[in-house]
Amino acid sequence: MKNNGPPNDLRVFLAVLDEGGFRAAAKRLGVAPSKVSTTVSRIEATLGAPLLVRTTRSVRATEQGRALADRIAPLLAEVDQACMETANSTGWVRGRLKLNVPGAVMPDILPPLLTKFQLKHPEVEVEIVVENNLVDIVASGCDAGIRYGTSLEKDMVSIPIGPRVQQIALAAAPAYLEERGCPQSPGELTLHDAIRYRFHGGPLLPWMLKNGDETISVEPVTRLTISVNAMNTGLSYARAGLGIIGMFRNWLEDDFSAGTLVPVLADCWRDQEGPRLYYPGRLTPTPLRAFIEVCRTT
């Protein structure tokens, strides 16, 4: 390896791992797929070790390739940050911000924050990855993530983002309540049909309600189960009268105003902490620092 080749070649190798293939890496880097393949082959020949296992359907790292990627990814990230900070020393923020977020923040929490951020920093490219499970944002190539009430690794820090307090509200169509009656206590919910959400490969999202001084979990009759990845689609079924739905209150306000849905047991809704932005404490790229500042002041 000579001159400026090694770092650039290694970035190509990392791009193949991040994107899961040569064509996707080539598209991201703006070069021909053949050049990406040639570059990786050149690294392998120079190191004398196979870095990737190639099949007709996929590309994955060998043991040596994964070990190399784990070592060089943070080093090249440090180089990128140093270059970016130098370029941004005049106060003009450039670069890329990649966020891993749950679907729950997409309709109304994230848009105003990103609009304010991009108006202030128009030269930052933002990419959003929607995923509802807690992920290793470093391993997934993201700068930061947004989650609700999750435990974080020790090297992560977090700040509140969007509303500091939210509620999971219950609602139903007027026609459903006219036919089935409106429950007057949490216990009566067990006699009603419900539209519930389930984490991918996991449990149903619980219905937790206030019952006097206690907090209780209620198990209604589950009429329809929807993946949290399609959370906003549940409202259509609730409006059609399929059952009672548990949903973020802020997502229901328009329906409450229009009368297409009405509140159920509003006095029993519990407050819960709003979403939080989390990120590695040791490495904060300039675009992320700028986004954190927007979140703190909004």
The DSSP code sequence of 166-181 is EEEEEEE-HHHHHHH-
Average pLDDT over residues 94-103: 90
pLDDT at 3: 36
- Side chain identity, residue 120: K
Percent of the chain scored above 70 by pLDDT?
A: 92
Strand, coil or helix: what is 119? Answer: helix
CA-closest candidate to residue 293, choices 135, 144, 141, 142: 144
Strand, coil or helix: what is 15? Answer: helix
CA separation, residue 227 to residues 146, 160, 169, 212, 275 (Å): 19, 25, 18, 31, 19
Q: Structural domain tally of the chain?
A: 3
CA separation, residue 67 to residues 79, 158, 231, 275 (Å): 19, 29, 38, 34
Which residue's entry shows tokens 């030269």?
Answer: 123
Residues 49-65 have pLDDT tens digits of 999 988 767 788 999 99
Whether residue 116 is found in the same domain as residue 82: no
Whether residue 30 is found in the same domain as residue 151: no
Whether residue 137 is found in the same domain as residue 179: no
Residues 66-86 have pLDDT tens digits of 999 998 888 887 787 777 666
Which CATH number belongs to the domain containing residue 58 in this structure? 1.10.10.10
Tell me the average pLDDT of the chain: 87
Whether residue 37 is found in the same domain as residue 100: no
pLDDT at 280: 85
Whether residue 103 is found in the same domain as residue 222: no
Whether residue 262 is found in the same domain as residue 181: yes
Which CATH number belongs to the domain containing residue 136 in this structure? 3.40.190.10
Confidence of residue 290 (pLDDT cuts 50, 70, 90): very high
CA separation, residue 148 to residues 2, 102, 200 (Å): 47, 9, 16
pLDDT at 7: 54
Which CATH number belongs to the domain containing residue 267 in this structure? 3.40.190.290
pLDDT at 73: 86
| pLDDT above 60: residue 5 | no
**Cα 144 to Cα 64: distance, rounded to the nearest angstrom:** 28
Whether residue 269 is found in the same domain as residue 284: no
Let me know: does 231 contact 237? Beta carbons within 8 Å.
no
| pLDDT above 80: residue 94 | yes
Whether residue 171 is found in the same domain as residue 252: yes
Q: Which residue has the higher pLDDT, 263 or 23?
A: 263
Whether residue 181 is found in the same domain as residue 237: yes
Q: What's the domain range around 206?
A: 165-273
Whether residue 284 is found in the same domain as residue 152: yes
Residues 247-289 have pLDDT tens digits of 989 889 999 999 999 999 999 999 988 899 998 876 678 899 9
Which residue's entry shows tokens 């990406």?
Answer: 36
Whether residue 114 is found in the same domain as residue 145: yes
Last residue of a domain, which of 86, 121, 140? 86
**Cα 145 to Cα 136: distance, rounded to the nearest angstrom:** 9
β-strands 193-198, 244-248: how paired?
parallel
Contacts of 167 (CB under 8 A, 6+ apart): 248, 249, 269, 270, 271, 272
Whether residue 128 is found in the same domain as residue 216: no
Q: How many residues does the chain have?
A: 298
Last residue of a domain, which of 86, 118, 152? 86
Residue 297 is given by DSSP the state: T
Count of Cβ atoms closer than 10 Å to residue 243 Cβ: 22
Confidence of residue 1 (pLDDT cuts 50, 70, 90): very low
Confidence of residue 188 (pLDDT cuts 50, 70, 90): very high
Last residue of a domain, which of 61, 86, 111? 86
Confidence of residue 2 (pLDDT cuts 50, 70, 90): very low
| pLDDT above 70: residue 88 | no
